[in-house]
Structure 1
Amino acid sequence: MKKLLLLIFIAASAIAQDSDPEKQAVAFNKWYVKQINEDKFPITDSHEIDKYVTASTMKKLRRTQEADYSDDPFYDADIFTKSQYIGDDWADFVTVVAGDTDPVCVNVYIEFGKKKKHTVIDCMVKEDGFWKVQSVAARDFN
């Protein structure tokens, strides 16, 4: 009986994590920054990113990497961090600072870093029962 209760608890915890847009946003951003710090390019290096980002967004991002896509630069910052660099403490400090819901998505305000903080807003939507990033907006204004 104890083993059964333990299995139920573990399954419920896994389901709860996937059903929480804030936890999924933090998990994605920690994973993503780690990939970038390891000199990996998550959009094309594997399909692991697909569990964090919507299929329609990934289709668009992968299209930008195709040979026949225009050579003109289309964006001057990382699409998910909205930054041209990754702070040295970002991988260790990814936190949710706020959230709100609108008719399109759950907006999760993610803060990177402890020294010099950088904030983005992840638009999270449910796809196939899992919360995923649909888009990211910059929160810092210089």
Structure 2
Amino acid sequence: MKITSFFAVMLFIASIASANAASASCASPEKTTSDFYHWYLHELNQDKYPLTSTAAKDKQNLNQWVSPELLQELGKSLSENDLDAEYFTDAQDIFDDWVNNVSVQKGEVAGHHANVELTLGVTKIKRDYDITLDDSHGCWKIDQVTSKQ
């Protein structure tokens, strides 16, 4: 009986440790936003469009940083040809100034939602955004992008 209790306790401790390790590997809302935009703008600047790419690495990156709900919504909009501008920048052109200047200001967290402010660029073509993230799927993921322009 004691050996069974010992193994039950060890199994419980191991499950807590793995849960803590999984949550420790999640980035903050600010880092998630920054990492996504650095990657995404670089891809767009190389004339690659991750939202329509069939490459497994692009899908993996999108799934890492963007909520499944937003990806589903964007997929539907793309299939219906219903996007007038690139969703994550609300623009039709990407500027080098944006690619090299991604700035995220610490936001507020309330429950499973976080809001951060994003600035792309530093010159006259600078753009500001409100980014909403959700951690319902384990780690922070971008769930909505709103341009302040």
| One-letter amino acid matched to 2:63 | D
Change in CA separation of 1:129 and 1:136 when aligned onto 2, cut-off 3 Å = same
Q: 1:48-82 CA deviation, whole Å, 9 max, x = no partner? A: 3111110111112112333xx3x5xx332211112
RMSD: 2.2
Matched, 1:26 2:34: yes
Residue 71 (structure 2) aligns with: 58
Q: TM-score, normalised by structure 1?
A: 0.75
Residue 62 (structure 2) aligns with: 49
CA contact (8 A) 2:106 2:116 kept: yes
**Alignment partners' CA distance in 2, 1:119 and 1:31:** 18
Unaligned runs of 5+ in 2: 1-20
Residue 95 (structure 1) aligns with: 103
> Which stretch of the first structure deviates more once superposed, 131-140 or 99-108?
99-108
| One-letter amino acid matched to 2:65 | Y
| One-letter amino acid matched to 1:80 | F
CA contact (8 A) 1:122 1:133 kept: yes
Q: TM-score, normalised by structure 2?
A: 0.71
Residue 98 of structure 1 deviates from its aligned partner by 4.7
Residue 97 of structure 1 deviates from its aligned partner by 3.0
Q: 1:87-107 CA deviation, whole Å, 9 max, x = no partner? A: 221111101135234567211
Identical aligned pairs, as a percentage?
29
Unaligned runs of 5+ in 1: 1-11
Which of 103, 114, 118 pairs up with 2:122? Answer: 114
Please list every run of at least 4 consecutive aligned residues from structure 1 whose deviation after the TM superposition is greater than 6 angstroms.
none
Alignment size in residue pairs: 122
Residue 6 (structure 2) aligns with: none
**Alignment partners' CA distance in 2, 1:53 and 1:127:** 12
